[in-house]
Chain A
Amino acid sequence: DSGVTQTPKHLITATGQRVTLRCSPRSGDLSVYWYQQSLDQGLQFLIQYYNGEERAKGNILERFSAQQFPDLHSELNLSSLELGDSALYFCASSVVSGGALGNEQFFGPGTRLTVL
Chain B
Amino acid sequence: DQQVKQNSPSLSVQEGRISILNCDYTNSMFDYFLWYKKYPAEGPTFLISISSIKDKNEDGRFTVFLNKSAKHLSLHIVPSQPGDSAVYFCAASFQGAQKLVFGQGTRLTINP
- Point out the residues of chain B lying under 8 angstroms from A101, CB to CB: 32, 49, 51
Asked whether any CB of chain A lies closer than 8 Å to the CB of B34, the reply is: yes
Rank and list the top 9 A-B pairs by shortest CB-CB distance, nearest first: A99-B93, A56-B98, A107-B43, A45-B99, A42-B102, A43-B102, A48-B98, A42-B104, A107-B44
A109 touches B43 (CB 8 A): yes
Asked whether any CB of chain A lies closer than 8 Å to the CB of B11, the reply is: no
- Point out the residues of chain B lying under 8 angstroms from A105, CB to CB: 46, 100
B43 touches A2 (CB 8 A): yes
Q: Bin chain A's interface residue count.
A: 20 to 34
| Min CB gap A105→B, angstroms | 6
The answer, among B44, B45, B46, B96, for a CB contact under 8 Å with A99, is: B96
- Point out the residues of chain B lying under 8 angstroms from A92, CB to CB: 43
Known: A42-B89, A43-B102. A98 touches B96 (CB 8 A): yes
- Point out the residues of chain A lying under 8 angstroms from B105, CB to CB: 42
When chains A and B are docked, how far (Å) is the Cα of A42 from the Cα of B43?
12
B46 touches A106 (CB 8 A): yes
**New A-B contacts (4) at CB < 8 Å, excluding given A42-B105, A97-B98, A101-B51:** A45-B98, A100-B32, A105-B100, A107-B36
A43 touches B98 (CB 8 A): no
The chain B residue sitting closest to A45, CB to CB, is B99
Asked whether any CB of chain B lies closer than 8 Å to the CB of A55, the reply is: yes
Q: Which A43-95 residues have a C-beta within 8 angstroms of B? A: 43-45, 48, 55-56, 58, 90, 92
A33 touches B43 (CB 8 A): no
When chains A and B are docked, how far (Å) is the Cα of A29 from the Cα of B101?
21
Q: Which B91-110 residues have a C-beta within 8 angstroms of A? A: 91, 93-105
Residue among B4, B45, B96, B97 with most chain A CB within 10 A: B97
B32 touches A99 (CB 8 A): yes
- Point out the residues of chain A lying under 8 angstroms from B46, CB to CB: 104-107
Asked whether any CB of chain B lies closer than 8 Å to the CB of A25, the reply is: no
B44 touches A100 (CB 8 A): no
Mark contacts of A9-35 with chain B using CB atoms, 8 A cut-off: 1 yes-contact digit, 0 otherwise: 000000000000000000000010101
